[in-house]
Structure 1
Amino acid sequence: MAVLQGDIKFPESLQRRLDENYDVVFEHDVENLKRRRDEILAIVVYYNKPSKEKLNELIDDLPNVRAIVNHGVGVNNIDLEAAKARGVQVSNLSGAEVSVADFAFALILAAARNVVQGHARSHNPMFTKIDFDWLGKEVSESAIGIVGMGRIGTEVAKRATQGFNMKVMYYNRKRRPLDEEISVRATYCESLNELLGNVDFVVVTVPGGKETSKMFGWDQFCAMKETAMFINVSRGSVVDQEALVRALKEKKIAGAALDVTDPEPLPCDHPLLTMDNVLITPHIASSTATTRKLMFEVFLQNVDAALQGKELPNRVI
């Protein structure tokens, strides 16, 4: 039995499979939830991301919960220590690394080569003459810095070396094994600032959470080259957005391409939305039919394991 958070339902195809294969209780159905609290074995968290406090309340109110199954890669919306103290397993999803790495390069290319601005100019009825002095930034054989060399970061590195012959530098909490570095031709940096000052593109793929909250602030943007571009496909929380706005205005960096912001979406009057050197997309890096199907299958494997009392395949704790 699973508890689905809030009023937002899964896509129709997923909801149908859940209804056909599981006994589902919705968190907002308070009376039903109270009546069947002893039967509930797993809490399912979808994209609406309830607060940590709300999840802790559910853990406390549901005595037989075995697991929290998170339909997403990040688990910063879950109080892992509280779950661990209760003996509740937590899982996340895998399978998004290929599409997210692809999208990171879509952002790199779009930002570097003025794709969005060029599209807008071409559709503008006032556009009558091509400006041959309007130049983009070369991607091939430039230097890329990857912050967070997990599954996604490694896929970004593969594309950088194999597709664009880029020099790859990376910063991670722990250095990767030498054979992994060699396979993607990546050089480890002992400090974040060492990386920032030596690359043309900074790509962030770290998880969200306390450890990475506002990891990129004024000092980090000032440490980057003035010609460098900042690419974020991780979480909006890793960036101090006021510092990013200031860095862009004062030309401490050349531009930014963001698939994630804080909040999402940004308020319509946010300064990032008015800047010509900023590209923003609505958290769609993993949004392909193939990836979503794969993530869905992994999600169901974790649900099945939770209801059977087994260890979750994608266990985080």
Structure 2
Amino acid sequence: MTRVLLLGLGEVGRILAEDLRTAGITDLTSWDTAFTDPRSSAARHLSGLGLTAASSAGEAAAGAELVISAVTAAQCVAAARSVLPQLGPGAWFFDLNSSSPGHKQAAAAEIEGAGGRYVEAALMSPIGPKRLASPFLLGGRHAAEFAALAGDFGIVDTTVVSEEIGRAAATKLCRSVIVKGLESLLVESLLTARRFGVDRDVLDSLPNILPPADWEAVAGYFISRSLQHGRRRAEEMEEAAATVSEAGVDPYMSLAAVQRQRWAAGFPEAGQAGSTTAMVDALLHAIDHPEETTA
């Protein structure tokens, strides 16, 4: 029987846990630093899934044949270090975190130095629609070997990009500069356009230079993602900024997106407003009445 440890039980971790069980993994344990807070989403997911929390990541790693790291982006290296005391020889470490190539390389050095098999992974779409069947890029000298058995865990769409750690991360985070940057631009543009009463005109003008689409629906989707997941997206964009810096480029746009995503995270209730216009109006109301903001 394969024993799997899931590090991180947030939104992504919950989906992974559910799908691993569907794939037949019954010996599943989890660890999240937020378990100590019963109000946290991780603690609620733990209870809802019926999982038992270990007293530490190291304890949870004992006997695990596969460790999946799905923590927040900034904790990539710390998560790798946390399992070292009990990580078994040859254990797989599947690093799904949206972290920079440099941080992935540092995590790999920790795991490989302890005798584990590190696999860099980059999730290349929102996980909600296809869940574990989402597309993953894999990297590292053990990536091809892991890809051959990934289907046993329900991971069925894998592409091995390189034996070099960091290429999958670079692909993911350079994409994030565009995707999370576009989210940030749409928030800022439509807040301003709505003030001037030209939001419809702006949206209607976009097909002149961009592919035809329902840009009101596109904008609504992107804005809602920032409102719901802005904190995690801000942290991912900090890793994107680190990636840009590692390439010797000044990360002006990535750092601006960090600020806008973090700002948007302060108004999660606006994401429940309904239409794109309603969300924008809810944000403008929050700007005009900061004393009413509770987030």
TM-score strictly above 0.5 = no
TM-score under structure 2 length normalisation = 0.41
Choose 1 or 2 for highest CA Rg. Answer: 1
TM-score, normalisation: structure 1: 0.39
Greater helix proportion: 2
